Amino acid sequence: MDNNSNRRTFLGVCLGGLGAIAAAAVSWPLFRYLAPHSGGDAAGKVVIPEKDVPEGEAKFFEFAGSSAVLVRKRGGDLVAFSAVCTHLGCIVQWEKDKQDFLCPCHGGHYSADGAVTAGPPPKPLKRLTFAVAGGNITVG
Ligand code: FES
């Protein structure tokens, strides 16, 4: 084997390794973003200050080992949902300008009330119970 062949082999191995590292660096955060969360405090309640959920905004948080979201709709009504899409389990996003939820995986849409408005989700977002007292929202 000559020097050029050894150099090519070495460069090929180095580039292959760098490619594998780059692919892992890109795909891991994407996987973590799209996958539902697991584990966590399954029995606990979550307390969120009311001021953290202004009108027209959504507040995402961890609840019972998964993602959940509180929304203060325009007009002031509060609603709480599991943020897990009922199609294949991706985490929905709040679209403030449209006042609805988008599932980034297959384009499912839900209204601010959690009802399916477009796309493949078969059921509405799961509602969560909550209580408001003393300037705090307690979910669960
Ligand atoms: S997982 Fe949400 S639309 Fe498919």
Ligand 1 test: best mutation among 34, 67, 82, 85, most atoms within 8 Å of CB? Answer: 85
**Which is nearest to 49 in space by CA: 41, 40, 57?**
57
Please, which pLDDT band fits residue 34 given cuts at 50, 70 and 90? low
* pLDDT at residue 37 in the model: 52
Q: How does residue 16 score in pLDDT terms, banded at 50, 70 and 90?
A: confident
Token output for 4: 């050029």
pLDDT digits (tens, 9 = 90+) for 71-93: 999 999 999 999 999 999 999 99
pLDDT at 44: 84
> Which pLDDT belongs to residue 31?
65
Q: What is the pTM of this model?
A: 0.71
Radius of gyration (C-alpha) of the chain in whole angstroms: 22
The preferred substitution site among 84, 90, 116 for testing ligand 1, maximizing ligand atoms within 8 Å of CB, is: 90
pLDDT score, position 38: 46
37-77 residue pLDDT tens = 544 444 589 999 999 999 999 999 999 999 999 999 999 99
Q: What percent of the chain has pLDDT over 90?
A: 69
List beta partners, residue 81: 69, 127
Mean pLDDT value of segment 86-114: 97
Residues with CB under 6 A from ligand 1: 85, 87-88, 90, 103, 105-106, 108, 119-121
Number of Cβ within 10 Å of residue 85's Cβ equals 26
pLDDT of residue 5: 76
